[in-house]
Amino acid sequence: MQCSKCKAVKYCNRACQKKHWPEHKVLCTAISHLSNKENKPLDPSDSTFVSHLTPRQHATVVGLVGKRCTVNGEINGHLVEVLWDTGAQVSIISNEFLRNFPGVAVKDISELLDTKLNLTAANGREMPYIGWVELNFRLSPCNHDLNVPFLVTEQCLDSPLIGFNVIEEIIKGSNGDAALSKVITASFTDLDSQTASVFVNFIESLNQGELCCIKTTKRDTTIPPKQSLRVTCRGNTGPVGRPTPVLFEPDETNPWPDGLEISETLLTVKKGKSSQVDIDITNNTNHEIVLRGRTSLGRLQLVQSVTPVEVKIKEPDSGNNGIQQEVPGSGTTNPVQPCDEESEVAPMCIPTHIKDIDLEGLTLAQKEMALKLLAEEADAFAKDGNDVGCIPELELDLDLEDQTPVQKNYVAVPKPLYPEVKAYIEVLLNRNFIKKSSSSYSSPVVCVRKKDQSL
C-alpha cells in the first residue's frame, strides 16, 4: 500500500504507515501542495492573492470591483477590454495581442532589471516571457495617457492584464478631479456612480505599507531593570491567506517611559484574521518599568522582499605553502621554502615581506645583527594589508551582571547603503577579521558615514 495523499511512499501494512506518519507528515503536505500547483490550470481570474495591499485593503477592493474586474480603456489609441489584476503590480500582454501594434519593438528585460526575473501566475505556475514593451494606456473617456511597461508572454491571454498600480496612478494623478467618478463609472462596467465614488475615495486614501497597529494586552506588563522581556501582542491583521513576513516598526511618537527601548523586528504573521507576535522590549534603567494595558507599541508594515546578504568568500590560494619568488626576466615564480625557526639564521634567509627594509647607513656588523633580529622576529611584521595577527592562546575574562544574553533587535540597513554594507562584510570575511556566528549575544549593524564619506 502507498500514501494516498502524496503517493510517494509505500508501506507494508496499515500499522507501519500509522507509525511513520509523524515523520512523513511534513514531507507529504509539501509534495501534495506542489502537485496541486502543477495540476491546476492557468486562469488569471480563478482567485485573488495578497501581495502589495494589506489583506483588509485587498478584501475591500475585491468587494467593490469583484474578483474578475473588466476595464474599458485604450492602449496606444486602440479601444481594448483589459483585466485589472488587483493582486499584482505587473502588467502583462501576450505576444499575439502585441501584433496589433506593429511599430512596437520588444525590449530585453535586462534594460529594467539587473537580475533574472521569474514570473509566476496567481496559481503558482510559471509564465515564460520574451521581454517587455512600453505602451500608453488610458481609461476610455479620459484624456490622460499613462506610460505603462508591459511584460510580453508567449502564453495565450484572453485580454491584457494591467497591474493594480496602473489604476492607482490614474486615480491619484487626477488630483481630486470632480469628473473622475464619471470616468471610472464609464470604464468599470460593474460600478455604479455611488460605488465609483466610494472606490475613488478608497484608492486615494490608501496607505499600502501599514498592516495594523500593535498594542500590549489588557494586563499591565512589568519589565525588570537592565533586562529584556519578550512581550506577546495580538495584531488584527485582517484575512491573511498564508504566513506573511512583516516588519514591526516602533511608534517613536509614543510617550514611553525614559530608558525603554523597542527596536525594529522582522516577524511573520500567521494565516487568519489575527496573529500573535512577540516584541522584545528592553529596560535600560535601574528600576522596573510598567507598561499599562493596551499600550501602543508600533505598527506592522508589509515587506516587499526579504533579501539575505549573500557574500562571496575568497577561495583559498592553491599550490605550495612556501613563498613565491619571482624569477628575474620571466613571468613565472618558483617556490622558496620558508626558513626553519630553529636553524641558524643566514642573511639570505630573510622572509620576503621584510627583505626590502632599508638598512643603509649601518656597518656590516650592524647589518648582520639587524638581519638576524628581523629573521627572528619576522612574525611580528605584517605580511600584507590583510595580516593583522592572531593570538589563539589569549583569553579575556568578561564579568557579567547576569547570565542573560544581551540581544538587540534587528535594525534594517538603509536601502541606499545596502551595496556598501554588503561589500564591507565581504572584505571583513575575506580578511578573516570576522566570521559567521550563532552566538546568543547579538547587536544590530549601525551604519555611520565618516568625515571622508567612507562607511
pLDDT digit string, tens, across residues 392-448? 788 888 888 888 887 776 677 776 777 788 778 877 877 777 887 778 788 878 888
Q: pLDDT tier at 288 (50, 70, 90 boundaries)? A: very high
For 144-159, write each residue's pLDDT tens digit: 788 888 988 888 788 8
Q: Which three cell numbers stand for residue 279?
A: 516584541
Q: In this predicted structure, what is the pLDDT of residue 306?
A: 58
Mean pLDDT for 184-199 is 86
Q: pLDDT tier at 203 (50, 70, 90 boundaries)? A: confident
For the domain bounded by 210-302, which CATH number is listed? Answer: 2.70.40.10
| Beta partners for residue 276, in sequence order | 234
Question: How far is residue 228 CA from its own chain's centroid?
Answer: 27
Type of residue at 343: S
Mean pLDDT across the chain: 75
Report DSSP state, residue 442.
B
Q: In this predicted structure, what is the pLDDT of residue 158?
A: 80
Asked whether 211 and 301 are in contact (CB, 8 A), the reply is yes
Asked whether 112 and 149 are in contact (CB, 8 A), the reply is yes
Range among 132-136, 242-246, 269-273 with highest mean pLDDT value: 132-136
Range among 9-18, 28-37, 196-205, 220-229 with highest mean pLDDT value: 220-229
**Cα(61)–Cα(54) distance, rounded to whole angstroms?**
11
Q: In this predicted structure, what is the pLDDT of residue 341?
A: 42
Q: In this predicted structure, what is the pLDDT of residue 322?
A: 44
Q: Taking Cα atoms as reference points, which of 103, 77, 98, 87 lies closest to residue 157?
A: 98
For 51-109, write each residue's pLDDT tens digit: 467 777 878 888 888 888 889 999 988 899 999 988 777 888 998 899 888 888 888 87
Q: Which three cell numbers stand for residue 92?
A: 502583462
Mean pLDDT for 202-227 is 83
Mean pLDDT for 114-137 is 71
- Phi, psi (5° rounding) for residue 60? -65, -45
Say yes or no: domain 55-204 is CATH 3.30.1330.10. no
User: Is the pLDDT reported for residue 305 higher than 70?
Assistant: no
- Residues whose CB falls within 8 Å of the CB of residue 41, separated by 6 or more in sequence, listed in order: 123
List the domain boundaries for the chain. 1-39, 55-204, 210-302, 349-380
For 360-396, write each residue's pLDDT tens digit: 888 888 888 888 888 888 878 877 776 777 777 888 8
Report DSSP state, residue 452.
T
Q: In the block, which residue shows the cell 516602533?
A: 250
**Cα(190)–Cα(72) distance, rounded to whole angstroms?**
11
Q: In this predicted structure, what is the pLDDT of residue 444?
A: 78
Q: Which three cell numbers stand for residue 72?
A: 474599458
Torsional class of 226: left (φ above 0), alpha (ψ -120 to 50), beta (otherwise)? left
**Cα(56)–Cα(74) distance, rounded to whole angstroms?**
31
Q: Which helix (H) or strand (E) holds 215?
A: strand 210-215
Task: Give the CA distances from residue 157 to residues 42, 44, 45, 97, in Å, rounded to whole numbers and listed in that order.
Answer: 10, 9, 11, 8
Q: pLDDT tier at 222 (50, 70, 90 boundaries)? A: very high
Q: In this predicted structure, what is the pLDDT of residue 308?
A: 57
Mean pLDDT for 200-205 is 84
Q: In this predicted structure, what is the pLDDT of residue 247?
A: 85
**Cα(426)–Cα(423) distance, rounded to whole angstroms?**
5
Burial of 417 (0-12, 13-18, 19+ CB in 10 A): middle
User: Is the pLDDT reported for residue 334 higher than 50?
Assistant: no
Q: In this predicted structure, what is the pLDDT of residue 340?
A: 45
Q: Taking Cα atoms as reference points, which of 269, 238, 265, 267 lies closest to residue 249?
A: 265
Would the pTM count as exceeding 0.85? no
Alpha carbons within 13 A on the beta-carbon side of 278:
5
Biggest CA pair distance of the chain: 104
Radius of gyration in angstroms for the set of CA atoms belonging to the chain, rounded to a whole number? 32
Burial of 1 (0-12, 13-18, 19+ CB in 10 A): exposed
Q: In this predicted structure, what is the pLDDT of residue 311?
A: 59
Indicate if 210-302 has the same CATH topology as 55-204.
no
**Cα(238)–Cα(59) distance, rounded to whole angstroms?**
9
Higher pLDDT, 349 or 26: 349
Q: pLDDT tier at 30 (50, 70, 90 boundaries)? A: very low
**Cα(125)–Cα(119) distance, rounded to whole angstroms?**
9
**Cα(415)–Cα(307) distance, rounded to whole angstroms?**
11
User: Is the pLDDT reported for residue 309 higher than 60?
Assistant: no
**Cα(246)–Cα(269) distance, rounded to whole angstroms?**
7
User: Is the pLDDT reported for residue 248 higher than 70?
Assistant: yes
